[in-house]
A and B are shown apart, each in its own frame.
Chain A
Amino acid sequence: MQATLWGTRGSLATPGPDTARYGGNTSCVAVRGREGTIVVLDAGTGIRRMAATIDASVRRVDVLLTHLHMDHIQGLGFFAPLYRPEVEVHIWGPASIQLSLQTRLMRYLSPPLFPIGLRELPCELHLHEVPCGEVDIGEFRVATALVCHPGPTVGYRISEAPGKVLTYLPDHEPALGARAFPSLPRAWTSGGALAEGSDLLIHDSQYTTQEYSNHIGWGHSSLRHMLDFGTLVEVKHLVPFHHDPGHSDADLDRLMAEAIDEAKPVYRVTPGREGMAFEV
């Protein structure tokens, strides 16, 4: 499979000359299988440009939402396949305890926040609530599980024969409440089984260690926690993702280098930049 990063920024779109290299669009990753299946991970502002790469002959696209915070759905209304009657769009995402996925999405995709309502979209729309165990989407097997982040939030583990695995945990605070991290085995760590042995792990890297101490419970990882999580789950290649909007390109260059130098991971680390593509 091939994964392309179309939005790597967390929390708020941050365009401008200081963020041009890592990118200013919010979370969106496109995963394409060898047989043509297209899975889009999150619908941040990066999804608009991603949609332009979908060939007119495509008849089905699956959008997998980790959660419904605005930086992960803001681009949804600008996803071109939603306006093509001949295309099946399957949106997967978490319901809340009280509200269905449809009701939650309609809060955004309806006036006054958006001019077009969910029911008015011309495409053939299918909504699926997660977590739902394992499902097959085209040639992919997708596993979902709730992870530690405020509100219902899932991570996705996408497998493709012969055993290649990509895991996506863009908003994740596995260290929440831990006196030391990591101190517990994978089974007792949020996202542990989802990310176990991944060939590629795209993971939250929002804060420095100092910043994290002022944002405990906000649902994100420090760079150090992310790297230690990667060690715990024995990942092969880690992509730091969901960069803080306050971090410029120069900041990220320095912070990534410092964190990697300190943690000395035994696996490969490639800081996520908009436009990057990975073969898994």
Chain B
Amino acid sequence: MSTSKAIQIILARQLASCVAMPILLVDAEGTLIFYNEPAEAIMDRRFEETGEIPADEWNRGVTVVDEHRNPIAPEDRPMTVARLQRRPISRTIWTRSGDRDWRHLQVTAFPLVGEGGHFLGVMNIFWEI
């Protein structure tokens, strides 16, 4: 028997697929397992073309700085905080993919916790400022 994504992750992707806010889903290991069409502008690539992206690879491709344009260390990025510290976090960031234009975003990241406290991953919701 192969493995399926957890039903909560499947439903989270279904939700992300039909809302206008950019959404990224990462699994418990930090692999980017899905991003919706609105998020493709932030990622500067299409999910249909990339599929899942390992944590180190996609973190390298995206620059994230704070309101004052100071770099945010990988371990302090909202998604990583939500994943490793298992708590929700919301903050304002500037980000760009490769050498594209900077985007000013509000990001909220929160852990997805299933039955029995089983940690499933993180949902990241962005809002263009």
Of B13-21, B54-62, B73-81, B86-94, the stretch lying at the interface with chain A is: B13-21
User: Of B4, B8, B15, which one neighbours A186 at CB under 8 angstroms?
Assistant: B4
Chain A: minimal CB distance from B12 (Å): 10
Residues of A near any B CB (own CB < 8 A): 94-95, 97, 131, 143, 145-148, 152, 157, 176-179, 186-194, 196
- CB atoms of A143 and B14 under 8 A apart: no
Among B1, B2, B3, B115, the most chain A Cβ lie within 10 Å of the Cβ of: B1
User: Of A188, A189, A193, which one neighbours B1 at CB under 8 angstroms?
Assistant: A193
| A interface footprint on B95-121 (CB within 8 Å = 1, 0 otherwise) | 000000000000000000011000000
Contacts of A97 in B (CB 8 A): 115
- CB atoms of A177 and B11 under 8 A apart: yes
- CB atoms of B17 and A193 under 8 A apart: no
Nearest neighbor of A146 in chain B, beta-carbon distance: B7
Q: In the complex, which range does the number of interface residues on chain B fall in? A: 10 to 19
Instruction: Answer whether A187 and B4 are a contact pair too, CB < 8 Å, given A131-B115, A152-B115, A177-B17.
Output: yes
Alpha-carbon gap, A97 to B118, bound state (A): 11
- CB atoms of A157 and B5 under 8 A apart: no
Chain A: minimal CB distance from B66 (Å): 34
Contacts of B18 in A (CB 8 A): 177, 179
Chain A: minimal CB distance from B35 (Å): 14
Alpha-carbon gap, A204 to B13, bound state (A): 23
Contacts of B41 in A (CB 8 A): none
Contacts of A152 in B (CB 8 A): 115
Contacts of B17 in A (CB 8 A): 177, 179
- CB atoms of A147 and B7 under 8 A apart: yes
Alpha-carbon gap, A187 to B15, bound state (A): 17
B10 within 8 A of partner (CB) = yes
- CB atoms of B3 and A193 under 8 A apart: yes
Contacts of B4 in A (CB 8 A): 145, 186-194
Alpha-carbon gap, A192 to B3, bound state (A): 8
Chain A: minimal CB distance from B38 (Å): 15
- CB atoms of B1 and A194 under 8 A apart: yes
Nearest neighbor of B16 in chain A, beta-carbon distance: A177
B129 within 8 A of partner (CB) = no
- CB atoms of A188 and B2 under 8 A apart: no
Contacts of A186 in B (CB 8 A): 2, 4
